[in-house]
Amino acid sequence: MVICEAKDYKDLSRKAANIISAQVIMKPDAVLGLATGSSPEGMYAQLVEWYNKGDVDFSRIRTVNLDEYRGLAKENEQSYDYFMHKHFFDKVNIDVNNTNLPNGLAEDPEEECRRYDALIESLGGVDLQLLGMGHNGHIGFNEPGDFFDKGTHCVDLQPSTIEANKRFFESEDDVPKQAYTMGIGTIMKAKKILVIVSGADKAEILKKALYGPVTPKVPASILQMHPDVTVIADKAALSAGE
């Protein structure tokens, strides 16, 4: 595991964008596992800037997103599909037919999970998986629990996750209570993993994830077992030390 300290959020975003763009340049048809939320917004903005300068070409890239709220249509402004189009897909030359997210409106959750796992397998797996980290150590929507879920699954969101996400909705009642997420097993099959963490409020959980015991109580701790993980965190997020 490589831990890279960034000076601030802007530096973090640039360093993360460097790794993503390098992957695209090395393998123009790479499969990128993408994430949403506030952490990667700056990274996507940097990639868009470099695309506009002609420095990076996304025309052959395939993508699979980590997660999607259950019950939200793609057109809903709070869906992760909408987020990806707003911040990235609609601003670069990616083929929308090569972008993939779980279907939040799928009628049969179990069938949707099987479909998504089969899709990822059909693409040959993920070359580079981008992750953020929740305040409780979740990656994707793999919440703390008694075991590590292997494949894509539909999860009940914990109160702390709903609390963290309510700022994006008109009220807490509007926050979906379930989401589809890649499982820990799927994430761990990625050839490379890039984790970005920002802010002092993440310092304690980042310390547990990087240096504590590997336990499903801290889902991100499983990343200690992956052979190729890069963590980019700002000084604030690394302030708890080892």
Q: Which residues are catalytic?
A: 67, 136, 138, 143
Q: % helix / strand / coil in the chain, to the nearest 5?
A: 40, 20, 40
The sign of the CA dihedral 40, 43, 47, 49 is: positive
Q: Are 61 and 28 in contact (CB under 8 A)?
A: yes
What is the separation of C-alpha 12 from the centre of its chain, rounded to a whole number of angstroms? Answer: 15
Burial class (CB in 10 A: 0-12, 13-18, 19+), 115: middle
Strands 128-131, 229-234: pairing kind: unpaired
DSSP reduced 3-state for 199 = coil
Structure tokens belonging to residue 99: 């972008």
DSSP reduced 3-state for 163 = helix
